[in-house]
Amino acid sequence: MSDEALFQRTSALALEYLARLHERPVARPVEFSALLERLGGTLPAAGMAAGEVIEQLVTAVEPGLVATPGPRYFGFVTGGALPVSVAADWLASAWDQNAFSFVISPAAAAVEEVVRIWLLELLGLPSQMSMGLVTGGTMANFTGLAAARHALLKSVGWDVEADGLFGAPALTVVTSDESHISIFAALQMLGLGRERVTRVATDAQGRMRADELSATLARINTPVLVCAQAGNVNTGAFDPLSEIVPLVRARLPHQPGWLHVDGAFGGWVAASEQYRALVTQLDQADSFSVDCHKWLNVPYDSGLVFVSDRAAHYAAMTLSAAYYVPSPDEVRDNHNWVPEASRRARCFALYAALRALGRHGVANIVEHCCHLARRFAERLAADPQVRILNDVVINQVLVRFVNGGNDREADDALTAEVMRRVQQDGTCWAGGTTWQGQHALRISVSNWSTTESDIERSAKAILACLHESKSQR
Ligand SMILES: Cc1ncc(COP(=O)(O)O)c(C=O)c1O
């Protein structure tokens, strides 16, 4: 088979998958060991023809593919790649560019710079902010917090990149009780300690309480890193940035503050006039992270960090070696802003999505998903055995199923049973969570292609699972 025939056949197989995406069961139960058996054994000594490899791969993994890019996948916070971004991503594979630096891919350097300028404008952030394009929200948080660590320790005369943390002056990290797990993952990787944080209490929706933060900051006499969030992974609620910013800014010069905002999905509301008020004063953040594979609906893996102190960001990430070919100052070398050196040029997919959507298109995705999330909540709440646990401020809905009495354990068990049935049924997929001690089905509407009829169909299927669960009890 020629290379051309291989690529044509492969694109036909990809198109077949995409064509069936809307109708295939969203997920099916499958045994890990069964998948290993279909794929594995020992690596044969002899190779296999390329066309055959692709056919076998497609057949072998089929039962393990989940329709996460489809319109009725509501698990985690999951976007489905826009066709234009998939097409650009195919080109990224064919071009096989290394997005490391200008000299090895001028195209990837220029595209990242254009994406930086576009996104700062779209999100209403200061135009001088630096940007790193990383693999997702976790690494975006890591990079933002690394820049914070640099700046705060530098302010007390310590060069953390050169000297590490051994014997370093103290700094204090403040999170909320509801900070995302990836913040703690970043802290553990940065040597700041995931347990060595001061946690601020949250309100019933999971928002950091500004009065508690104020009292906490008053007790701290070191430089301080405050981690706020725009979009709670369960409720979608936003920390009150307009109250948090002045508290962080009011620090004494020898006890400076850095505000990092984790906006993995919620950050995209900044693109919408209707929802922008939820992130008032986001432009005052020192660092801000946002995921593109979530609500922007581009292929994995794609996350961004923006940092207002470019020098701190650069110092925390840059490396040099004799064989590196540095570019002149006005030219972007992508590796200076991220933890990696060589990497895939995922900027092409991002550029394509932004160019195809324009400012209005990004806002439309946000507004459309929020509208559908409210519909979903209303539709489910019409059943007397359903409770919606959160204020549906954006795209997240927490659903609990109740028996009618006041038996928390029985309601937990019913909710778990409904979830099990929903996941087996395959009409849609949603995961579980525990919110303030209560088990809940967690729905995130984040896909550009979800329609009202997908919501109707999914709500019907969920309620059918509820009624089947009841009748079995
Ligand atoms: C608020 C928040 N931050 C960070 C992350 C981590 O993002 P990623 O899975 O892309 O690393 C998530 C993922 O859901 C999130 O909701």
**pLDDT tens for each residue of 327-376:** 888 999 999 999 999 999 999 999 999 999 999 999 999 999 999 999 99
Assigned domain for 427 exists: no
Domain that holds residue 12: 3-68
Assigned domain for 314 exists: yes
pLDDT at position 197: 98
Which amino acid, one-letter code, is at 400?
R
- Name which of 304, 389, 319 is nearest 349 in CA terms: 304
pLDDT at position 262: 98
Q: Is 143 in the pocket of ligand 1 (CB under 6 A)?
A: no
In this structure, the answer to whether residues 294 and 327 fall within a common structural domain is yes
In this structure, the answer to whether residues 104 and 8 fall within a common structural domain is no
Assigned domain for 218 exists: yes
Backbone angles phi, psi at 438, to 5 degrees: -120, 135
pLDDT at position 77: 98
**Contact criterion met (CB below 8 Å) for 126 and 308:** yes
b/e map 28-52, b = 16+ CB within 10 Å: eeeeeeeeeebeeeeeeeeeeebee
Report the number of distinct structural domains present in the chain.
Answer: 2
In this structure, the answer to whether residues 25 and 155 fall within a common structural domain is no
Q: Which of 335, 353, 371 is the last residue of a domain?
A: 353
**pLDDT tens for each residue of 390-407:** 999 999 999 999 998 889
In this structure, the answer to whether residues 60 and 130 fall within a common structural domain is no
**141 CA: nearest ligand 1 atom:** 4
Q: Which of 326, 353, 380 is the last residue of a domain?
A: 353
pLDDT at 198 over 60: yes
In this structure, the answer to whether residues 245 and 210 fall within a common structural domain is yes
In this structure, the answer to whether residues 170 and 253 fall within a common structural domain is yes
**77 CA: nearest ligand 1 atom:** 14
- Name which of 271, 226, 267, 232 is nearest 250 in CA terms: 226
pLDDT at position 322: 84
Residue nearest to atom 15 of ligand 1 (CA): 264
Which residues, at least 6 apart from 109, have a Cβ–Cβ distance to it below 8 Å? Answer: 99, 101, 102, 327, 331, 332, 333, 334
Q: What is the mean pLDDT of residues 24-30?
A: 93
Assigned domain for 331 exists: yes
Choosing from 202, 233, 346, 443 the residue with most ligand 1 atoms within 8 A of its CB, the one to mutate for a pocket test is: 233
Q: What are the structure tokens assigned to 28, written together? A: 């099916």
Report the separation in Å between the CA atom of 266 and the middle of ligand 1, taken as the mean of its atom positions. Answer: 10
In this structure, the answer to whether residues 24 and 94 fall within a common structural domain is no
Q: Which of 33, 68, 103 is the last residue of a domain?
A: 68
pLDDT at position 319: 86
Report the separation in Å between the CA atom of 376 and the middle of ligand 1, taken as the mean of its atom positions. Answer: 23
pLDDT at 171 over 80: yes
pLDDT at position 160: 98
Assigned domain for 400 exists: no
Q: Can you tell me which residue has the tokens 């690529």? A: 7
In this structure, the answer to whether residues 11 and 155 fall within a common structural domain is no
Assigned domain for 472 exists: no
- Angle of the 347-381 helix axis to the 452-472 helix axis, nearest 10: 50
Distance (Å, rounded) from C-alpha 455 to C-alpha 450? Answer: 8
**pLDDT tens for each residue of 270-303:** 999 999 999 999 999 999 999 999 999 999 999 9
Distances (CA, A) of 25 to 28, 68, 129, 379: 7, 11, 43, 22
Q: Is 234 in the pocket of ligand 1 (CB under 6 A)?
A: no
Residue nearest to atom 16 of ligand 1 (CA): 233
In this structure, the answer to whether residues 204 and 144 fall within a common structural domain is yes
Report the separation in Å between the CA atom of 294 and the middle of ligand 1, taken as the mean of its atom positions. Answer: 9
Q: Is 69 in the pocket of ligand 1 (CB under 6 A)?
A: no
Distance (Å, rounded) from C-alpha 241 to C-alpha 281? Answer: 6
Report the separation in Å between the CA atom of 89 and the middle of ligand 1, taken as the mean of its atom positions. Answer: 22
Distances (CA, A) of 356 to 298, 299, 301, 451: 12, 15, 19, 20
Q: What is the mean pLDDT of residues 91-109?
A: 98
pLDDT at position 390: 98
Q: Is 144 in the pocket of ligand 1 (CB under 6 A)?
A: no
In this structure, the answer to whether residues 13 and 152 fall within a common structural domain is no
In this structure, the answer to whether residues 11 and 120 fall within a common structural domain is no
Q: Is 260 in the pocket of ligand 1 (CB under 6 A)?
A: no
Choosing from 141, 178, 189, 291 the residue with most ligand 1 atoms within 8 A of its CB, the one to mutate for a pocket test is: 291
Distance (Å, rounded) from C-alpha 79 to C-alpha 68? Answer: 8
**139 CA: nearest ligand 1 atom:** 11
Report the separation in Å between the CA atom of 117 and the middle of ligand 1, taken as the mean of its atom positions. Answer: 23
Assigned domain for 373 exists: no
pLDDT at 473 over 60: no
Read off the CATH number of the domain in which 297 is found.
3.40.640.10
Assigned domain for 18 exists: yes
Q: Work out whether the CA dihedral 326, 119, 251, 219 comes out positive or negative.
A: negative
Residue nearest to atom 4 of ligand 1 (CA): 137
Residue nearest to atom 5 of ligand 1 (CA): 137
**pLDDT tens for each residue of 59-77:** 999 999 999 999 999 999 9
**140 CA: nearest ligand 1 atom:** 11
Distance (Å, rounded) from C-alpha 457 to C-alpha 451? Answer: 10
pLDDT at position 70: 97
pLDDT at position 358: 98
In this structure, the answer to whether residues 288 and 231 fall within a common structural domain is yes
